[in-house]
Amino acid sequence: MNRTELQSLGEFGLIRRISAGVTLQNPESVRGIGDDAAVMDVGSQYLLISTDMLVEGVHFDLGYVPLKHLGYKAVAVNVSDIAAMNGIPKQITVGLALSNRFSVEAIDELYEGIRAACHSYQVDLVGGDTTASPTGLILSVSVTGLVDKDKVAYRNTARPNDVVCVTGDLGAAYVGLQLLEREKRVFLANPDMQPELVGKDYLLQRQLRPEARTDFIHELRELGVVPTAMIDVSDGLASELLHICTQSGVGARIIEQKIPIDALTYDNAVELNLDPVTCALNGGEDYELLFTIRPGDYEKMKNHPDVAFIGYLTDQPQTVELVTEAGNAYPVKAQGWEHF
């Protein structure tokens, strides 16, 4: 039998291969693989469901990630997928595989974080599975949410001339990760060194304990705006924008100056010899919301202090461009993450 290595496909290639053989049989199944969450028609509303795995040594390093933060983050990143569909999260289940290296007290700490996130996002922990693992810790969280049928936001429904918007700021989680990795190297080389993390709380918090933007979903309701498309920024702005453009069959022009980057992110990126814009475009794990609105909805949103209007969509599907201050346009490319 032939052997094809996983790394030759990459994560997105593997997902495409898996999806290719899948058909939906049930009338309740409105949307399957290919968006932030699946959609099921349960009567007057749509049920949303999404799942995410976090694997020790791949997604987190317990050398600098406190278990409490890990528990919080595992819930937040799942809740973020429900927010990305314009939905309200309701319930989670937690699958946990762990080796006997972990004590009962360690599990208590993990669940303290999970419960704190459940409280923050008003979701209920309703079930799960706990089992042994030969090595390390694996968390698998599934989340359900609800959304009114006329408010669900997909990735493939953006239209030319829509305004491209993003909440909060980008790149901080990636810069935070680089700081933690640097401190780890310093610590391994010399355990007596003091960590140089004073004043960098915001960057560390964005990496270790990110928040899902459920708050903004409620604000969209109050503003009376339904995004034409939405996605959460887990892999970086470039990758997410390309998902919306490819799936919607549109192009985009993004104005570099409009990409929201916090001053602390900017300064620390430069100090780490990183380009701040690249951190925002390809860093990932910000869990902000990237969305598009009809030009007519811009008036309702233009004064929102936490939304940046970073560009607009075009009718040229193959052309997703970043326009620099000097007026040059460069194609936006997704770096993505190659786990294998």
Q: How far apart are CA 158 and CA 247, in angstroms?
A: 9
Nearest-approach distance from CB 148 to a copy of itself, in angstroms: 12
Of how many residues is the chain composed? 340
Nearest-approach distance from CB 112 to a copy of itself, in angstroms: 8
Buried b (16+ CB within 10 A) or exposed e, 220-237: beeeebbbbbbbbbbbbb
Q: Does 122 bind a copy of itself (CB under 8 A)?
A: yes
The residue range among 129-137, 209-217, 218-226, 320-328 that interacts with a copy of itself, by the rule CB under 8 A, is 129-137
β pairing state of 163-167 and 307-314: antiparallel
Nearest-approach distance from CB 83 to a copy of itself, in angstroms: 16
Q: Which of residues 205-234 bind a copy of itself (CB under 8 A)?
A: none
Q: Which residue, 122 or 328, is less far from a copy of itself as judged by CB?
A: 122
Q: Which residue, 28 or 271, is less far from a copy of itself as judged by CB?
A: 28
Binding-site member from 17, 185, 258, 302 for a copy of itself (CB under 8 A): 17
Closest CA to 197 of 143, 305, 271: 271
Nearest-approach distance from CB 186 to a copy of itself, in angstroms: 24
Contacts of 320 (CB under 8 A, 6+ apart): 241, 242, 245, 251, 252, 254, 331, 332
Tokens of 53: 């795995």
Q: Is 175 left (phi over 0), alpha (psi -120 to 50) or beta?
A: alpha
Q: Which residue, 90 or 200, is less far from a copy of itself as judged by CB?
A: 90
Q: Which of residues 51-110 bind a copy of itself (CB under 8 A)?
A: 51-53, 55-59, 90-91, 93-98, 100, 102-105, 107-108
Nearest-approach distance from CB 176 to a copy of itself, in angstroms: 21
